[in-house]
């Protein structure tokens, strides 16, 4: 552990896109960064060594899942989440808000917080801004996220305003509850659905409270890429230049590229890991469905440009076989590949920003994805 201050520096810009470095207690993160999701203290089907080999520098943990099983205080007694899951690098934890809000029929919201029933055993639990921050401290998260209400989509402007303003009051309580420690940071979350004025109001409210980073929440909930990008266009300019910007729960490669062009620094998404469990691979030639029969006799690697074990050691025919047979090794290899692809994508974006060529890269990626030059045989 470095023990230095929590610090973000912008090393290069290319238009609105930024190449930066985020310094935390458990290490440095090069941005734009993609954070693999480790919901239940594991990036599904990956050892932490393998996660590191993909190039990931930071992972995400879920407060909701971990508070229910194995329990935040248990993880604290066992030395914190890093030690529990054997991940030495930085960890960002979400606040539990997003998961709790999605338990539509199992939760009750009031000004103070939310009461909900566990999906594991039906037991009752309560989350407030203070408790969410406390849990994230038990987990020893390098980055704590403010507890917010993730506004449902679609909603009226009035509903979005009311929900956002509740989240802003909660954000102030999170700031109050957060115990400052060197190298640890607290991020606020901009809400306001797809309404530009509300997004700006939310950003201003958070800046007035003061956070170590600013997340954009409430997107990737069904609004579509165009609405997501236009919301970013309205939101990002309202955020301070000297703090990291994190777009929560995003996304497909083209979502990430477009958001980097708009000044986003950090991402997380279950897509690469979840796709790996359903036979779907993300490659430099576009998405590939390994369940498709045309791969059955194909001796070529999944992606000739990829350095991961799935592409280095095996054929498409073998990956197809594993996927069809429901073998765990198929899940392991495709998850490994997808996370490697995502990290290589981020590395390419970082390099292009430094080189001042990020718009060229974005155009080339869009063209390749449309052309699908690996598919079909």
Active site residue ranges: 94, 268
Contacts of 10 (CB under 8 A, 6+ apart): 18, 19, 20, 241, 242
Q: In the complex with a second copy, which residue's Cβ is closer, 21 or 52?
A: 52
Residue 313 contacts a second copy per CB under 8 A: yes
Q: Euclidean distance between the first and final Cα of the chain, in Å?
A: 49
- Whose tokens are 């029969």? That residue is 293
- Tell me the helix, strand and coil percentages in the chain, rounded to 5: 45, 20, 35
Residue of 55, 196, 287, 309 that binds a second copy (CB under 8 A): 309
Give the β-pairing of 107-109 and 114-117.
Answer: antiparallel
Alpha-carbon gap, residue 8 to 10, rounded angstroms:
7
Tell which positions 40-99 bind a second copy, by CB under 8 A.
40-42, 44-49, 69-70, 74, 77-79, 84-86
Give the interface segment with a second copy, choosing from 15-23, 39-47, 93-101, 145-153 (CB under 8 A): 39-47
Give the interface segment with a second copy, choosing from 108-116, 122-130, 212-220, 292-300 (CB under 8 A): 292-300
Strands (E), the chain: 7-14, 17-24, 27-31, 33-36, 59-61, 91-93, 107-109, 114-117, 124-127, 143-145, 185-190, 213-216, 245-247, 266-269, 280-283, 286-289
Q: In the complex with a second copy, which residue's Cβ is closer, 266 or 331?
A: 331
Residue 135 contacts a second copy per CB under 8 A: no
Q: In the complex with a second copy, which residue's Cβ is closer, 217 or 301?
A: 301
Contacts of 305 (CB under 8 A, 6+ apart): 283, 284
We find the least distance from the C-beta atom of residue 93 to a second copy, in angstroms, to be: 16
Q: What phi, psi does 328 have (nearest 5°)?
A: -60, -35
We find the least distance from the C-beta atom of residue 73 to a second copy, in angstroms, to be: 10
Residue 270 contacts a second copy per CB under 8 A: no
Residue of 13, 118, 292, 315 that binds a second copy (CB under 8 A): 315
Q: Which tokens hold the place of 355? A: 């080189």
Q: In the complex with a second copy, which residue's Cβ is closer, 107 or 324?
A: 324
Residue 314 contacts a second copy per CB under 8 A: yes
What one-character-per-residue DSSP string does 71-135 give? -HHHHHHTT-HHHHHT--S-EEE--SHHHHHH-GGGEEE-SS-EEEE-TTT--EEEE-HHHHHHH
Residue 363 contacts a second copy per CB under 8 A: no
We find the least distance from the C-beta atom of residue 183 to a second copy, in angstroms, to be: 24
CA torsion 290-279-50-55 (nearest 10°) is 80
Q: Which tokens hold the place of 368? A: 């390749």
Residue of 9, 112, 157, 327 that binds a second copy (CB under 8 A): 327
Residue 367 contacts a second copy per CB under 8 A: no
Residue of 109, 234, 317, 366 that binds a second copy (CB under 8 A): 317
Residue 297 contacts a second copy per CB under 8 A: yes
Residue 278 contacts a second copy per CB under 8 A: no
Q: In the complex with a second copy, which residue's Cβ is closer, 287 or 309?
A: 309
Residue of 296, 363, 364, 370 that binds a second copy (CB under 8 A): 296
Q: In the complex with a second copy, which residue's Cβ is closer, 71 or 372?
A: 71
Distances (CA, A) of 307 to 36, 310, 343: 18, 8, 11
Q: In the complex with a second copy, which residue's Cβ is closer, 82 or 262?
A: 82
Answer left, alpha or beta for residue 80, where phi above 0 means left and psi between -120 and 50 means alpha.
left
We find the least distance from the C-beta atom of residue 324 to a second copy, in angstroms, to be: 7
Residue of 35, 331, 346, 374 that binds a second copy (CB under 8 A): 331
Residues lying near a second copy in the complex (CB under 8 A) are found at: 40-42, 44-49, 69-70, 74, 77-79, 84-86, 296-297, 299, 309, 313-315, 317-318, 320-322, 324-325, 327-329, 331-333
């Amino acid at each position: 552990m470095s023990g230095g201050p929590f610090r973000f520096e912008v090393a290069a810009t290319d238009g609105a896109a930024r190449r930066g470095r985020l310094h935390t207690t458990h290490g440095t993160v090069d941005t734009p960064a993609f954070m693999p999701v480790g919901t239940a203290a594991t990036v599904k089907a990956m050892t932490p060594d393998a996660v590191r080999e993909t190039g990931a520098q930071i992972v995400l943990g879920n407060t909701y899942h971990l508070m229910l099983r194995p329990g935040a205080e248990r993880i604290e007694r066992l030395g914190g989440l890093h030690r529990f899951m054997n991940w030495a690098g930085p960890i960002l934890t979400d606040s539990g808000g997003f998961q709790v809000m999605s338990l539509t029929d199992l939760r009750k919201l009031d000004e103070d917080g939310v009461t909900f029933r566990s999906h594991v055993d039906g037991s009752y639990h309560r989350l407030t801004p203070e408790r969410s921050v406390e849990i994230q401290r038990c987990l020893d998260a390098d980055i704590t996220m403010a507890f917010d209400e993730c506004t449902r989509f679609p909603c009226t402007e009035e509903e979005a305003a009311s929900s956002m303003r509740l989240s802003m009051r909660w954000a102030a309580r999170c700031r109050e509850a957060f115990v400052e420690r060197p190298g640890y940071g607290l991020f606020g979350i901009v809400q306001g659905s797809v309404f530009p004025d509300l997004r700006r109001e939310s950003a201003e409210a958070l800046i007035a409270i003061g956070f170590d980073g600013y997340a954009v929440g409430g997107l990737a909930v069904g609004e579509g890429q165009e609405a997501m990008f236009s919301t970013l266009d309205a939101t990002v300019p309202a955020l301070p230049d000297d703090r990291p910007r994190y777009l929560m729960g995003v996304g497909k490669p083209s979502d990430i590229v477009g958001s980097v062009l708009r000044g986003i620094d950090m991402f997380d998404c279950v897509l690469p890991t979840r796709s790996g469990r359903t036979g779907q691979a993300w490659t430099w030639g576009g998405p590939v469905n390994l369940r498709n029969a045309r791969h059955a006799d194909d001796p070529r690697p999944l992606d000739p440009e990829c350095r991961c074990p799935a592409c280095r050691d095996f054929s498409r025919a073998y990956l197809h076989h594993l996927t069809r047979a429901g073998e765990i090794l198929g899940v392991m290899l495709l998850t490994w590949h997808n996370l490697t692809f995502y990290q290589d994508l981020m590395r390419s974006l970082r390099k292009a920003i430094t080189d001042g060529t990020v718009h060229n890269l974005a155009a080339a990626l869009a063209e390749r994805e449309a052309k699908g030059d690996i598919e079909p045989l």
